[in-house]
């Protein structure tokens, strides 16, 4: 029995939309990685300033750093779980806004307690970037192309580690530390708005009408033809499943 299947060709408009979606996802992931990793290293620049400003001892300085990094590390899995429920773009934009708010509050702080609150909020916001940014890249790219995309994503984080501390150092040459850090925090809030807009467009571009279901007669014909082929495909499917598992494991590494 011969079953004819009609394969709808990929339209140029669909391919162009897919490319735009890939570029948008990679741009959001790289931009967020650059900003958040830069914010994380920006704490090191601020610690000696805060020590001199508020008369902190070494234990208090170490506690400030631990609050930020500990919150960042411990909340990544909960951030991914929340993103799965309410949307990756929503959580990433909210986290980026919190990371920027951290430095705005630090610029307005009057003592150790407010610094603790600011760095805790910054750690909560920074926890959203790695699980969601990497998921955006994984969702948009597959196969060998994902290696290049992940390379660009990781490189963006290293750029942020250099760029933001260097920017802070330059601002400190011309401004007091409070307005300098407030400006850097406002940049994160603006970036959060951009992330929200771009991820919203990405969700809309992925929306497609559901495929039409085959008629009852067509479904029966497919079932009869597939049952005749089932025995021959059994052994081949076992080999293919082993190969797919190996490729999947290699890709997940």
Confidence at residue 203, expressed as pLDDT on a 0 to 100 scale: 60
Confidence at residue 232, expressed as pLDDT on a 0 to 100 scale: 32
Token pair for 170: 């330059």
For residue 249, CA distances in Å to 231, 235, 238, 246, 252 come to 28, 22, 17, 5, 5
Q: How far is 169 from 5, CA to CA, in rounded Å? A: 64
Q: Where are the domains of the chain?
A: 20-204, 216-253
Q: How far is 49 from 107, CA to CA, in rounded Å? A: 11
With a pLDDT cut of 70, the percent of the chain lying above it is: 73
- Tell me what the pLDDT averaged over the chain comes to: 79
In the chain the first and final C-alpha atoms are separated, in Å, by 43
DSSP state, residue 253: -
Q: How far is 26 from 23, CA to CA, in rounded Å? A: 5
Instruction: Give 51-73 pLDDT, tens digit per residue.
Output: 999 999 999 999 999 999 999 99
Check pLDDT > 50 for residue 21. Answer: yes
Check pLDDT > 50 for residue 246. Answer: no
Q: How confident is the model at residue 227 (pLDDT cuts 50, 70, 90)?
A: very low
Please name the residues in contact with 35: beta carbons below 8 A apart, sequence gap of 6 or more: 96, 99, 160, 164, 187, 188, 191
Q: Which CATH superfamily is 20-204 part of? A: MFS general substrate transporter like domains (1.20.1250.20)
Instruction: Give 151-175 pLDDT, tens digit per residue.
Output: 999 999 999 999 999 999 999 999 9
Instruction: Give 109-123 pLDDT, tens digit per residue.
Output: 989 999 999 999 999
Q: How far is 35 from 188, CA to CA, in rounded Å? A: 7
Instruction: Give 173-212 pLDDT, tens digit per residue.
Output: 999 999 999 999 999 999 999 999 998 865 655 544 433 3
pTM (whole model) above 0.85 = no
Q: What is the CA radius of gyration of the chain?
A: 25
């Amino acid at each position: 029995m011969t079953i004819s299947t009609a394969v709808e060709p990929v339209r140029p408009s669909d391919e162009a939309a897919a490319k735009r979606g890939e570029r948008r996802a990679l741009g959001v992931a790289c931009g967020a990685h650059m900003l958040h990793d830069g914010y994380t290293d920006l704490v090191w620049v601020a610690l000696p300033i805060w020590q001199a400003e508020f008369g902190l001892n070494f234990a208090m300085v170490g506690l400030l750093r631990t609050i930020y990094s500990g919150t960042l590390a411990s909340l990544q899995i909960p951030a991914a779980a929340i993103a799965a429920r309410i949307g990756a773009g929503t959580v990433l934009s909210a986290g980026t806004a919190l990371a920027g708010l951290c430095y705005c509050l630090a610029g307005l702080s009057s003592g150790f307690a407010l610094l603790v609150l600011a760095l805790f909020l910054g750690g909560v916001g920074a926890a959203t970037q790695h699980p969601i940014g990497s998921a955006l890249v994984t969702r948009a790219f597959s196969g060998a192309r994902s290696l290049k995309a992940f390379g660009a994503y990781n490189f963006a984080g290293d750029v942020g580690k250099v760029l933001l501390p260097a920017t802070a150092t330059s601002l400190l040459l011309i401004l007091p530390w409070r307005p300098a850090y407030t400006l850097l925090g406002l940049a994160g809030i603006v970036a959060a708005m951009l992330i929200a807009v771009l991820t919203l467009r990405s969700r809309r571009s992925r929306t497609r009408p559901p495929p039409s279901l085959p008629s009852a007669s067509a479904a029966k014909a497919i079932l009869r033809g597939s049952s005749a082929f089932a025995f021959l495909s059994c052994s081949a499917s076992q080999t293919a499943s082993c190969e797919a598992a190996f490729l999947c494991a290699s890709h997940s590494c």
